[in-house]
Chains A and B, each alone.
Chain A
Amino acid sequence: MRMEKKRVLKEDGRYLIYYHFPETATPEQTGTFQAIAASGIAEGGTEAPEPPRPEVAGPAPASALSRNEDERRV
């Protein structure tokens, strides 16, 4: 099965991914997919920088606690 995808950015910053399957698409769907201009983002990549990782380590929120205290100090 062949699968292609194009990623575009909405005005509010959310991403939208069009998936295309040449073997099952109608001619209209194929034409529409081919006309879509991707937002200049590498396939499979992300269009936004990775945000800092939250200190969420599972059910026991020990690290969450320290993060929370840090925020309070700020």
Chain B
Amino acid sequence: MSELRWNPVLEEWVVTATQRQDRTFFPPPDYDPLAPTHPGGFPTEIPASTYEIVVFENKFPSFRREAPFPAVQGTPLTPVLPAQGICEVVCYTPEINAELATLPVEKVEDLVAVWADRFDELGGHDYVRYVYIFENKGKEIGVTLSHPHGQIYAYPFIPPVPARELEAARRHFQATGRDLLGDVLAQELEDGRRIVAQNNDFVAFVPFFARYPYEVHILPRALRPAITDFNDTERRALANILNVVMLKYNHLWNRSMPYIMLMHQRPTDGADYRHYRFHIEFYPPYRTPDKLKYLAGSEAGAGVFINDTLAESTAQALREAAPRG
């Protein structure tokens, strides 16, 4: 059963996807569903002896291309819709013990190209309004498979967080004629204390308004609304700075850092978003090497994040972690 239920109190859609209760949960290594299929072995999701990057539809999707009609009836107050959309899984290494941070930069560059291809193709469906590319890493985040992988959700609506960003960006552009995230980036570069890494085309920083202790945002120096707008040089630079940020995370406490990595970019509904800037956000769940940052009463109930650290301090720690420079 899968459907969209409207919450009129918060004015947002909730996806009910009960089939996900039965999804694969930390299978033993010999039954890794994201590994290549070896002759005579367990048939995985990928029926080939090896692969570079594969993308496939999630076996336990929240959204489906051909969504069933809802199992419940809506009301005028709480309408219900089919959960039509697409959920993809992105596997970028056949090795269960690898991770994005340890891949050669050239392989990350290949992955950037795949992300762009998926954005272009999924965004071309007339029922898709927003293509959301993300990766959940680590059991602390709630992953249910050890094999590293990313995901893509092609939503039939613009999700609330990007919608808030888009509206803020629209108002800022109307008031100033400039893009909001471009001004945020300029302020960060001028201040300098929260910069984590940079190259010719991208800057990584802990934002002044960070909600998580080691939150990092990666912004392009040029105004690019979507990942498909980058040229080859920019794609290579994006791969490079992703590699640097993820290695810094791992070197910060000499452990593989869990995180949520997500991309915000323009919607695919055909409207004009030339004033909106693509960016990547990282949310590691730890505030110290052994203490998690929980979303508790203030965060979950009031939407007010309490950050126990100073962005200037965490940025400095990340800046000093290898690789430096």
Question: Quick one: closest A residue to B84, CB to CB?
Answer: A54
**Interface extent on A, as a size class?**
35 or more
Question: Quick one: closest A residue to B158, CB to CB?
Answer: A58
CB-CB under 8 A from B66, the residues of chain A are 48, 51
B270 → A minimal CB distance (Å): 13
CB-CB under 8 A from A32, the residues of chain B are 48-51
CB-CB under 8 A from A71, the residues of chain B are 69-70, 73
* Contact call B79/A51, Cβ cutoff below 8 A: no
Question: Quick one: closest B residue to A71, CB to CB?
Answer: B69
The stretch that binds A, out of B55-63, B194-202, B215-223, is B55-63
A36 in contact (CB, < 8 A): yes
B54 in contact (CB, < 8 A): yes
Q: Which of A45-59 contact B (CB under 8 A)?
A: 46, 48, 50-51, 53-59
CB-CB under 8 A from B45, the residues of chain A are 16
The distance in angstroms between the C-alpha atoms of A61 and B74, with both chains bound, is: 12
Q: Could you mark each residue 17-61 of chain A with 1 if its beta carbon is under 8 Å from any beta carbon of chain B, else 0?
A: 111110111101100110010000000101010110111111111
B190 in contact (CB, < 8 A): no
* Contact call B50/A29, Cβ cutoff below 8 A: yes
Q: Could you mark each residue 160-196 of chain B with 1 if its beta carbon is under 8 Å from any beta carbon of chain A, else 0?
A: 1001000000000000000000000000000000000
A28 → B minimal CB distance (Å): 6
Of the candidates A10, A28, A58, A65, which one forms a contact with B56 in the assembled complex, judged by CB atoms under 8 Å apart?
A: A10
* Contact call B67/A54, Cβ cutoff below 8 A: yes
* Contact call A19/B110, Cβ cutoff below 8 A: yes
* Contact call B109/A61, Cβ cutoff below 8 A: no
Of the candidates A14, A36, A53, which one forms a contact with B57 in the assembled complex, judged by CB atoms under 8 Å apart?
A: A14
- Please judge, given known A-B contacts A1-B232, A28-B50, A50-B125, whether A19 and B55 are in contact too, CB under 8 Å: yes
CB-CB under 8 A from A68, the residues of chain B are 73-74, 79-81
B11 in contact (CB, < 8 A): yes
* Contact call A59/B12, Cβ cutoff below 8 A: yes
CB-CB under 8 A from B67, the residues of chain A are 51, 54
B37 → A minimal CB distance (Å): 11
* Contact call A33/B52, Cβ cutoff below 8 A: yes
Q: Which of B63-99 contact A (CB under 8 A)?
A: 65-67, 69-70, 73-74, 76, 79-82, 84
* Contact call B46/A16, Cβ cutoff below 8 A: yes
* Contact call B55/A14, Cβ cutoff below 8 A: no
